[in-house]
């Protein structure tokens, strides 16, 4: 558990210091920036996702750190926490289909 805390703290520090935003990219969101239902319709691959990304998100928006380029591989492993399930190759989401 201590190792997970150190890892999460280190990732957060590096991200806040050197990370670059990818937040201008609409990712599994509607035109108002709210998460679509498919955004969280998968499971996280990692057990420490909430520790890394701090669960700052409300029900409709994703945590800030999920939009950092430096954390993109980790965010994909934490797709449910980050609200980006539709970006995973194994999800099979067809973005041409409408979700209401």
Q: Is the pLDDT of residue 92 over 50?
A: yes
pLDDT tens-digit readout, 19-59: 445 445 678 888 888 889 889 999 999 999 989 987 655 66
In a domain, 22, yes or no: yes
In a domain, 100, yes or no: no
Q: Is the pLDDT of residue 100 over 50?
A: no
In a domain, 37, yes or no: yes
Domain coverage including residue 15 = 2-87
Q: What pLDDT was estimated at residue 14?
A: 62
**Which residue has better confidence, 94 or 60?**
60
Q: Confirm if 48 and 7 have CB atoms less than 8 A apart.
A: yes
A 10 A CB-CB count for 52 gives 25
Q: Is the pLDDT of residue 99 over 70?
A: no
Mapping DSSP to helix (H, G, I), strand (E, B) and coil, where does residue 63 land? coil
In a domain, 94, yes or no: no
Return the residue matching tokens 């797709």: 79
């Amino acid at each position: 558990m201590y190792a997970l805390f150190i890892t999460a703290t280190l990732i957060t520090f590096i991200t806040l210091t050197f990370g670059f935003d990818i937040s201008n990219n609409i990712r599994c969101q509607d035109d108002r920036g709210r998460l679509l239902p498919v955004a969280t319709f998968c499971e996280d691959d990692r057990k420490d996702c909430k520790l890394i990304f701090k669960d700052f998100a409300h029900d409709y928006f994703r945590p800030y750190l999920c939009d950092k380029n430096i954390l993109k591989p980790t965010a994909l492993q934490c797709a449910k926490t980050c609200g980006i399930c539709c970006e995973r190759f194994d999800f099979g989401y067809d973005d041409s289909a409408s979700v209401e």
